[in-house]
Amino acid sequence: MMNIMHPALRRLDLNLLPVFDAIYRHRSVRLAADELAMSTSALSHALSRLRMTLNDPLFYREGHRMCPSVYAAQLAPSIASALKFLNQELTPQPEFEASSSTECLQIAITDFTAFCIFPALMHQLQHNAPGLRFELLYLPHSPALTELLAGEVDLALGFSTPDDVRHPELDEINWFEDEYVVISNKSRTQLTLEDYLAARHLVVTPWNEKRGVLDLQLEQMGYTRQIAIKTPSMLSAPFIVAESDLLMAIPRFAAEKLVPAMDIKIFALPFEIRPFEVKIYSHKRSGKRGATHWLKAVLQLLAQEVNSGR
């Protein structure tokens, strides 16, 4: 036999519940009708239908007051609570106003994506959206698919890999594209392919991946490199390179930002590889739709400025 969901609700016109609630609170048909913008005859008709459906008189008149029956008194708290909950949940969300918003967005990042985006973003938002807040979260994989689909994060700032597969529920924006370069200590004077393969390397693996895109490319060329250190964080990596003989491949944008702060040199990567891409991922049905749409538009404009200024 077919299982019929909510059999009691299927028999009841839910529009009658506000009628019940108003009569119970006001103890008056006239005052209830005024609150609901109904005529007293229409409200009396609604009450008659409700009595027939629930098979109870619900209210009886004592002088000028409508007094609840025992059954109505039992129902009243649950009906009032349900109506309050539905009213709150079904109220349309207000339009997002960046200048006054205090919304908090959860954003999945790596060290590098935060380094690329947030200095310029926060410089701009301090004027346009000073109350907007962020929680930056490190996640052990890209593009934080599970977390985005579950609504645990609002945006994810990741970088593309050869294994990327587009998910139909996610929007993605190509935010930033850059070439790889190599940084070393100040004593190095040249970097040929032979030099690169003979050196030892530091590799940043934000998701503890076994192999990076450069290792996959070298493997296709028939080479391997000597990896001395793998680390999930970019913070210490350039300092280690500056004080050792290790090499580190890094997007040029980051390398040029680091040069004034430490004793490192930049060399061209001595083999061809596809550009480094930073992407912005979001769920198509984000629970913070107004805020995420606005922020993505800001980020796209910011990407044009960053790329044109390089």
- CA dist 5 and 158 (Å) reads 43
Residue 70 above 90 pLDDT? yes
Q: Which helix (H) or strand (E) holds 203?
A: strand 200-204
CB 267 within 8 A of CB 241: no
- CA dist 302 and 295 (Å) reads 10
CA distances from 173 to 48, 151, 154, 275, 296 (A): 58, 18, 14, 15, 8
Task: Tell me the pTM.
Answer: 0.66
Q: Residue 45's CB: how many other CB atoms inside 10 A?
A: 13
| pLDDT in the model for residue 1 | 43
Q: Is 83 exposed, middle or buried, given 0-12, 13-18 or 19+ CB atoms closer than 10 A?
A: middle
Q: How confident is the model at residue 219 (pLDDT cuts 50, 70, 90)?
A: very high
All structural domains of the chain: 9-87 (1.10.10.10), 104-176+277-308 (3.40.190.10), 180-274 (3.40.190.10)
Residue 205 above 80 pLDDT? yes
- CA dist 211 and 201 (Å) reads 13
Residue 67 above 70 pLDDT? yes
Contacts of 27 (CB under 8 A, 6+ apart): 65, 66, 67
Does the CA dihedral 216-218-223-224 come out positive or negative? negative
Give the chain's mean pLDDT.
Answer: 87
